[in-house]
Structure 1
Amino acid sequence: MIRLFRSKIYIAIALMLSVLLAGTLGYHFIAELSWLNAIYMTIITVTTVGFNEVGPLETEGKIFTIFLIISSVFIFAYAISVITEYLFSKNQLQLLKTKKVKKMINNLSNHVIICGYGRNGMQAVERLKAYKKPFVVIERDKDIIEKYEVDVLFVEGDANEDETLLTAGVKDAQYLIVTLPDDADNLFVVLSARQLNKQLFIISRASQVTSQHKLKLAGADSVIMPDKIGGDHMASLVVIPDLITFMDKLSTEGENTTNLEEVAIEDFADQMVCNSLRDLDLRRKTGCTIIGYIEPDGNYIINPEADLPLEPNSKVIVLGRPEQIKKLNEMFHIN
């Protein structure tokens, strides 16, 4: 709708310029005025300011002036109505859009809040979209919001402000990903979010090594240094290239391409008796292999034994081809 109004505005501007051009040409050739006087006469005529004529007008000039006044009145009235309607509609649409976004956010729970839609923020969004995880992005750059708002749920504002975090539903969120370019801003967001939601799992970006400890003290559960990860990855391609290439093949892009899956024991326990990994028998049922076990306290066990007893609130990490992972999800109704 906004584009339609913009096209109308372009038409109105073109009509006004046409009137000015026609008036100038008419007074120059019909009334034989100089170019400057022709422009002056056109301006005072279409604006109806009531100034005196710059020179006597013959019959042709007077008739031309009559038609110029009538046409300019209608064209300028049309232009004013289009601009007014555009401004009014734009404000109304913005208001309706804000209400719609607020309603959608109010219906979310256990969602992810991403602060900043830069390079890291965009990568996080793509991954969350692939896994169909609900999320909200806080961004203060209007140009970015207008460019990507079709596919992303945005909250316009500064993530450093409590009101913005509350608008994004921080009290009902499960995760917060802070990807602002400045470590000081990230630190302030982490502090604010931790005060608003004690149970929130906060992941923050850091540029400087010295910022890691400060972010942890502020309440971040995990601190990521993208530059360090990128450098480690490139160096590993030199030292152990085949292994790194193989790890890259373990895609975790989305539900139809993933090779790894993290599954809570409760997802199995609701449908079968499982006291140990052997009871799950995932290899025979789905083709997937259990390569890791996460204990309730967060301790990781790599390549666990088949007789390892399963505890409540623990998880298993399984490896398989995409079709095997899909079969696993369908068999045990894993979201």
Structure 2
Amino acid sequence: MKGAQPLARHHGIFLLILRRLRAPLILLIAIMAVSVLGLTLVPGVGEDGRTTYLSFFHALYFMSYTATTIGFGEVPHSFSEQQRLWVMACIYMSVIGWAYTLGTLFAVLSDRSLQQAIATQRFVRAVRRLREPFYLVCGYGETGRLICGALDRMRLRAVVVEIDETRVGEIGLRSFSADVPALCADASNPEVLRDAGLTHPHCAGVIALTNDDATNLAIAIATRLMAPKLPALCRAEHRSTSANMASFGTRHIINPFERFSATLSTALHAPATSQLLAWLTGLPGTAVERRRSPPRGAWIVCGHGRFGHWMVDAMDAESLPVTIIDRSEPPDGAHRWIQGDGSGAGTLLAAGVQQATGIVAATSSDIDNLSIAVTARQLNPELFVILRQNLQVNQVLFDTFESDITVVPSEIIAHECLAILATPLLEPFLRDIQGHGDGWCAEQLERLTGRFGWKVPEVWSERVNLSRAPALHQRLMRGETITLDQVLRSATDPGTRLDCEVLYLERDDDDHLLMPPPDTALRPGDALLLAGRRRARDAFALNIAYEHTLAWLLSGEDLPGGWIWRKLSRQGTKRTKPQLP
């Protein structure tokens, strides 16, 4: 519910309900008081025929079970006619009072604002109880679903704030391994962000994924002011929003169209580098095909919106001729402009589709983009087609049409966020390899795919410290020399290398190594970026964490497994050690 305030933070739910039920409760109390008082004043007849009056206790006792419709009998003795007449009036008054109270109670419980307050209080309690790192995800659209699913697979907790009530309801239907606290509220409200755990000591970061740039900007500002040490990953689809976020130090600004524009520019002048980037940043386990590279030549861009602007800029940077097809008037004469609908064959022919080398279907309508792509392929079967997909629900249609590249903004954002969260070393590594030339990247691509295949490998980071690699760190601190090759061996067969490789080594003294050789000596505090198979990841973590495994790899010594056996082993060694003369 848009604009909902976190009422439960200021008032208890019980007090809220009592405030709403103030009038009917006062009425019930008044009816009970008048009934009891009247019953003590109305004369009755005792067993000996004398006039008697009920005490306050007996009158309250009788009205307690009579006014609640339980019914019990006339106590402590039979009533007189006057008493029965008064009791009958009291019964009718109590029925009216209870009907009014119950009707008001049902109306209060069905009130949307109170339901929101109850949900908010439950949400706040769930967030406060978290005792493990979590990420605050603002927006549960297509990108938010991908991010939450990936975080769950990575065994990381998430807290969601979403303005659409239907999407919030979907979270409870997903089979997450851990509960995901979710609140239906406007994430641009700083109080909502605070209730969602922005200032929580276990909050690990904020991910702003709403489809409104103004909301994402408000989240970025609130994070900068309320939790300046937290990393903020913010989606921005307008250049002005990106510039505004960058001006106050937002760490990670993700524009899906800008990201793909940079990818396209790389593919145009360095195709092998682009292939290597795609292989390293895809979803682990999915197959990446060796696709044909975007050709150089004349291009057509259908749709000159946000995505179209970025595509034209990328081609201008590569000095490629571009023809733009759009329904709007041409803003300037810098490019050839065809006013019309790109889904029609006449417009495409006028734009020179038969002579073009590539086309970009860049409109905000999936149906229009598919229509453009199908018509263009019929007119020019050799055309390189870049197809924009806006909605995940149309995935079946886009799978049917074999485009060269399908651009899905939600997936681009999700991949970027996961790369930053899961493998912080991946970003500097990708930046470094782009400066080594396309020939070097082609050699690395052939070598890595020859070893691991074309399925996207697991890419992860490890740091040589006491928490992540206690056994290795302790040995290095004692002055031992241990190389990468020694720890990248199989514990079951030390002569066999693990199915992984170190891509990047980062050190505190800025001595960063790209594709370090196997004989590189490790140091305490080194950060490693590795790529390989899942089983190799688990085996490498075992090698550097457990002294028993590491000792077996380095010296072939099979240490006793438990503390008691190690203690006995050391004592036995002392007993059998020869004495010096």
Separation of aligned partners in 2, 1:86 and 1:331: 63
Q: Taking structure 1 as reference, are residues 170 and 277 closer, same or farther at Cα in structure 2, changes over 3 Å only? A: farther
Pairwise CA distance, 1:175: 0.7
Q: Does 1:270 align with 2:505?
A: no
Contact 2:505–2:514 at 8 Å: present in 1 too? yes
Separation of aligned partners in 1, 2:184 and 2:232: 20
Aligned to 1:161: 189
For 1:165, what is the secondary structure of its paired residue? helix
Supply the RMSD in Å over aligned alpha carbons. 3.8
Q: Does 1:319 align with 2:352?
A: no
Q: Does 1:247 align with 2:289?
A: no
For 1:159, what is the secondary structure of its paired residue? coil
Contact 1:262–1:315 at 8 Å: present in 2 too? yes
For 2:536, what is the secondary structure of its paired residue? helix
5+ residue gaps, structure 1, are 1-80
Deviations 1:177-210 (A, max 9, x none): 1112222221111111121112111111111233
Separation of aligned partners in 1, 2:511 and 2:213: 29
Q: For residue 470 of structure 2, what is the amino acid of its counterpart?
A: D
Question: Which structure: larger Rg?
Answer: 2
Separation of aligned partners in 1, 2:534 and 2:252: 29
For 2:489, what is the secondary structure of its paired residue? helix
For 1:117, what is the secondary structure of its paired residue? coil
Q: What fraction of aligned residue pairs are identical, expressed as a percent?
A: 17
Deviations 1:194-238 (A, max 9, x none): 211121111111112333232122331111111233455567677
Aligned to 1:74: none
Contact 2:284–2:457 at 8 Å: present in 1 too? yes
Q: Quick check: 240-249 or 320-329, which moved more?
A: 240-249
Q: For residue 195 of structure 2, what is the amino acid of its counterpart?
A: T
Aligned to 1:289: 501
Contact 1:260–1:319 at 8 Å: present in 2 too? yes
Pairwise CA distance, 1:115: 1.0
Q: Taking structure 1 as reference, are residues 96 and 282 closer, same or farther at Cα in structure 2, changes over 3 Å only? A: farther
Q: Taking structure 1 as reference, are residues 140 and 277 closer, same or farther at Cα in structure 2, changes over 3 Å only? A: farther
Higher relative contact order (CA 8 A, sep 6+): 1
Aligned to 2:135: 112
Aligned to 1:207: 237
User: Which has the larger helix fraction?
Assistant: 1
Contact 1:158–1:164 at 8 Å: present in 2 too? yes
Match of 1:178 among 208, 213, 218: 208
Q: For residue 503 of structure 2, what is the amino acid of its counterpart?
A: I
Q: For residue 292 of structure 1, what is the amino acid of its counterpart?
A: Y
Separation of aligned partners in 1, 2:545 and 2:107: 50
Pairwise CA distance, 1:153: 2.4
Q: Taking structure 1 as reference, are residues 86 and 330 closer, same or farther at Cα in structure 2, changes over 3 Å only? A: farther
Contact 1:203–1:222 at 8 Å: present in 2 too? yes
Contact 2:483–2:522 at 8 Å: present in 1 too? no
After superposition, where does 1:29-48 map in structure 2 within 5 Å? none
Separation of aligned partners in 1, 2:154 and 2:248: 29
Separation of aligned partners in 2, 1:277 and 1:175: 35
Q: For residue 224 of structure 2, what is the amino acid of its counterpart?
A: R
Separation of aligned partners in 2, 1:89 and 1:327: 55
Aligned to 2:154: 131
Aligned to 2:313: none
- Number of aligned residue pairs: 252
Q: For residue 132 of structure 1, what is the amino acid of its counterpart?
A: R
Separation of aligned partners in 2, 1:262 and 1:131: 13
For 1:199, what is the secondary structure of its paired residue? coil
Q: Taking structure 1 as reference, are residues 90 and 148 closer, same or farther at Cα in structure 2, changes over 3 Å only? A: farther
Q: Taking structure 1 as reference, are residues 268 and 165 closer, same or farther at Cα in structure 2, changes over 3 Å only? A: closer
Contact 1:294–1:301 at 8 Å: present in 2 too? yes
TM-score (norm 1): 0.62
Q: For residue 213 of structure 2, what is the amino acid of its counterpart?
A: D
Aligned to 1:310: 523
Q: Taking structure 1 as reference, are residues 178 and 297 closer, same or farther at Cα in structure 2, changes over 3 Å only? A: farther
For 1:263, what is the secondary structure of its paired residue? strand
Pairwise CA distance, 1:174: 1.4
